[in-house]
Structure 1
């Protein structure tokens, strides 16, 4: 069975638009013609298009969800532009090209068209079953929820668009909905999805890259944690633990999570192969000798918070956790690489084929899957929710489950502290395990928004800024919580007159 991305897409012009103007989508008229939605094959092709539209946005999602986390330092590639530098400096302006959300709304309007029109094929193709359609509809609702979840974590207030683009006469000027309204909309979609998507697919190759009930539960647990609904988050995580709790990759096999990917603890990964679309990780972390890596790793900023009580500096094998273990060619190429204007470490877990020896993937990381959810992140979600319920011993047990699976000594009861101290240490543990996987800024914002926890984000981001910005300058830029979210791009404001720039950014 060929992976999803190898299917021939029927809409190449759509996939290539890359438009950054608000809802300036170019969905062809044939999406709404009765003759298009005539049979199962056309519906399947449209479903593949929905998944492929997710590929179009992964680079943007990585920037929004991770690049402000201070784990990064500029690479030698010419693609590291002023726009990326603003994110790293915590000084973002409305003209920044990385703010454009047009391609995300293009994906959403594709999904809206599928939700509206795909059921019509049932009446025209007797080989197309209602149960098969329901599974696809569930995937559509889940993909729409996932897109909106990235938007709301990035901008907080965003427009909700439920209807497909079907005519040039349609008007899409739409005011931004409140964060609560967007989250309610997301949860409604996830509820529809959970009742429809497949528990799994009998053919394992069909499962790869497709949304299942476990994917929906992972997204929903993340949403519940964002909303500070801790018990609801734990209930969803418990369902996932029942499936994945005994499937953690063995310590000596940990690199299989990234190469070849689709490990036993993987929940949802966007699939890449050597032909077809290139993984966005290839453009971010391609190896230094190619001289085009957009980013390198700022290991100094990881080390600074590794206190003696969590990692014994006299024992280098246990200095950090599994996937950012400071050993040659594990998560990082241990020796720093230097170039005119900077230096840093290669993020080897995305570009290597095997650990502990220099062995790059063919043509870089072109075929590195983009991991959207894996089980160890679920364990960190549980730990965070339990800690917020003052169940610290249980929270530490979740962290120790990861540590012991990495052959890392367990933390003793109480050693991680409580309240802000615990959350600061939790973020460090997340970075050791999930670093550069796209969500560490989101995790820091989620924690920092709770009363008394702001310094979990501000101090971490202000220390050891990779661009050399002073602690005082970066801290000042982040004191207002509105700065943790992004402004609307100026072109979005010009295209949508009902969209109003946020107060924090009006004078920038």
Structure 2
């Protein structure tokens, strides 16, 4: 979606928006290039550019100070789970999180990049309506679609925050000057989730079904992506009827499907991207490469796959040589545990550093299928749930050794089977911790033992008892508030476990 000169133009726009919409001090409201916000919002083209800027903000920090959001979301979704192992390049802050010892000074818990994107969204929502008066070619329908995109993106960002931190500040107005900087206390997780659903429900009827080309349909939020986010949020909220309804909107559209297994499957889905299986991918290309080669691909790689990935999650067939198509040469290189999904040129050869432009996968069609199965299981429709899972497993050539034959009438057995299938399907896509926590917290944490067992397999042996004891406090399942935020926003209080 962002290519060549267009990428450079979008970066320039982000710098303008950042100068007018960051949460630092402004001694002079007028940037050096003479552009101020009041001068900007005049044409429909500027509105479109501002909306595209919200997507560009996912790729990189325009100030060069913070992690990109895909890297942040990878760390948030995988470090606390059980599919990663440290490697020669793992840094101290990453060890802290992996060992259940995160402290407020750890920059991994810095939520500033997420709130920056939220502020870009708020800027569109606040100022785009003014353009109706200045550009007579700008229609209400076009405005509504752009605002819907911004609301959907804001909802997605808050969903990452609420699952990672619990209670978080809920800011719905843009910040553009010192006078607009206010201290904001945290809102409850329930209130934030309610706002997320409100944003998504308002966006759904107005956001576009298509933008006219495949790359944009996969690289921007569409109505179907909104439905996928709705389903995800409803699962988190344990609203299973609503989750099924949201999934069915995607499934019944018949715009997505699972590709047949083939030698080209890896390249089509992951290396090239934007396939029929894709719903929303953060788009990289030769002009803007991702960070993942330097995480996984060189001698100082920061992470490798945990031993259990091949030994237990995928397994192998020593007799007939059959394999799950998501396993060796796709998610992981079995011979040495290299995380392959983002750095493979094909199923055998590694890319060069400058070719690191595999996309970051936010939602794929398989996610919708498994979310529906999970909701059906919780509704007591185990047979229907298993039909979905087994159809997916058949498509992926999942091995018999990973089928534990759950009793369709046993809700927890079916739910655990789905959780394990999600691990196979979304390996290293930043979903594992959130999937585990969603499973564990159901019905007032009735499955806390699963988390206890998982932690025992992650941390060093001498730390197991301490880490397991921490997990018994449900507040420990959320990150601490970054210490800089506490220093600059006096209305914030530290999350309970870290006081």
Task: Note whether the superposition's TM-score is higher than 0.5.
Answer: yes
Partner of 1:339: none
Partner of 1:8: 9
1:457: Cα distance to partner?
A: 2.4
Is the counterpart of residue 359 in structure 1 residue 349 in structure 2? Answer: yes
User: Which secondary structure does the structure 1 equivalent of 2:308 belong to?
Assistant: helix
Is the counterpart of residue 331 in structure 1 residue 331 in structure 2? Answer: yes
Is the counterpart of residue 489 in structure 1 residue 492 in structure 2? Answer: no
Please give the alpha-carbon distance, in whole angstroms, between the structure 1 residues aligned to 2:319 and 2:106: 44
Is the counterpart of residue 291 in structure 1 residue 299 in structure 2? Answer: yes
Please give the alpha-carbon distance, in whole angstroms, between the structure 1 residues aligned to 2:319 and 2:160: 39
Please give the alpha-carbon distance, in whole angstroms, between the structure 2 residues aligned to 1:416 and 1:486: 36
Is the counterpart of residue 63 in structure 1 residue 71 in structure 2? Answer: no
Tell me: CA distance 1:455–1:364, structure 2 relative to 1, closer, same or farther (3 Å). farther
TM alignment of 1:64-213, pairs within 5 A: 64-77=76-89, 80-213=90-223
Is the counterpart of residue 455 in structure 1 residue 465 in structure 2? Answer: no
1:382: Cα distance to partner?
A: 1.4
1:427: Cα distance to partner?
A: 2.3
Partner of 2:63: none
Is the counterpart of residue 262 in structure 1 residue 274 in structure 2? Answer: yes
1:33: Cα distance to partner?
A: 3.5
Partner of 1:341: none
Please give the alpha-carbon distance, in whole angstroms, between the structure 2 residues aligned to 1:422 and 1:370: 29
- Kept in 2: contact 1:174–1:496 (CA 8 A): yes
1:58: Cα distance to partner?
A: 2.0
Partner of 1:340: none
Please give the alpha-carbon distance, in whole angstroms, between the structure 1 residues aligned to 2:256 and 2:181: 51
Is the counterpart of residue 243 in structure 1 residue 253 in structure 2? Answer: yes
1:201: Cα distance to partner?
A: 2.1
1:39: Cα distance to partner?
A: 1.2
Please give the alpha-carbon distance, in whole angstroms, between the structure 1 residues aligned to 2:240 and 2:325: 27
- Kept in 1: contact 2:121–2:150 (CA 8 A): yes
Please give the alpha-carbon distance, in whole angstroms, between the structure 1 residues aligned to 2:424 and 2:238: 24
Tell me: CA distance 1:367–1:415, structure 2 relative to 1, closer, same or farther (3 Å). same
- Kept in 2: contact 1:113–1:164 (CA 8 A): yes
What whole-Å deviation, never above 9, does each CA across 1:283-311 have from its counterpart, x for those lacking one? Answer: 322x2xx32322111132663467xxxx7
User: Which secondary structure does the structure 1 equivalent of 2:338 belong to?
Assistant: coil
1:473: Cα distance to partner?
A: 3.6
Structure 1: give runs of 5+ residues left out of the alignment: 337-344
Paired residues, number: 478
RMSD across aligned positions (CA): 2.8
Tell me: CA distance 1:73–1:195, structure 2 relative to 1, closer, same or farther (3 Å). same
User: Which secondary structure does the structure 1 equivalent of 2:485 belong to?
Assistant: helix
Tell me: CA distance 1:305–1:198, structure 2 relative to 1, closer, same or farther (3 Å). closer
What whole-Å deviation, never above 9, does each CA across 1:248-267 have from its counterpart, x for those lacking one? Answer: 11111431210111110100
Structure 2: give runs of 5+ residues left out of the alignment: 60-67
Please give the alpha-carbon distance, in whole angstroms, between the structure 1 residues aligned to 2:249 and 2:385: 17
Partner of 1:397: 387
Q: TM-score, normalised by structure 1?
A: 0.87
TM alignment of 1:15-34, pairs within 5 A: 23-24=23-24, 33-34=37-38
- Kept in 1: contact 2:215–2:274 (CA 8 A): no
Please give the alpha-carbon distance, in whole angstroms, between the structure 2 residues aligned to 1:8 and 1:54: 15
Tell me: CA distance 1:317–1:394, structure 2 relative to 1, closer, same or farther (3 Å). farther
Is the counterpart of residue 384 in structure 1 residue 387 in structure 2? Answer: no
User: Which secondary structure does the structure 2 equivalent of 1:280 belong to?
Assistant: coil
Tell me: CA distance 1:141–1:496, structure 2 relative to 1, closer, same or farther (3 Å). same
1:90: Cα distance to partner?
A: 1.4
1:12: Cα distance to partner?
A: 5.0
- Kept in 1: contact 2:331–2:341 (CA 8 A): yes
- Kept in 2: contact 1:279–1:368 (CA 8 A): yes
1:202: Cα distance to partner?
A: 2.1
User: Which secondary structure does the structure 1 equivalent of 2:272 belong to?
Assistant: coil
What whole-Å deviation, never above 9, does each CA across 1:428-480 have from its counterpart, x for those lacking one? Answer: 221111110011101111111113112232212322x2655554343223121
What whole-Å deviation, never above 9, does each CA across 1:69-114 have from its counterpart, x for those lacking one? Answer: 121112323xx32111111111111111111112211211121111
- Kept in 2: contact 1:3–1:206 (CA 8 A): no
Select the residue among 301, 315, 339 that pairs with 1:347.
Answer: 339
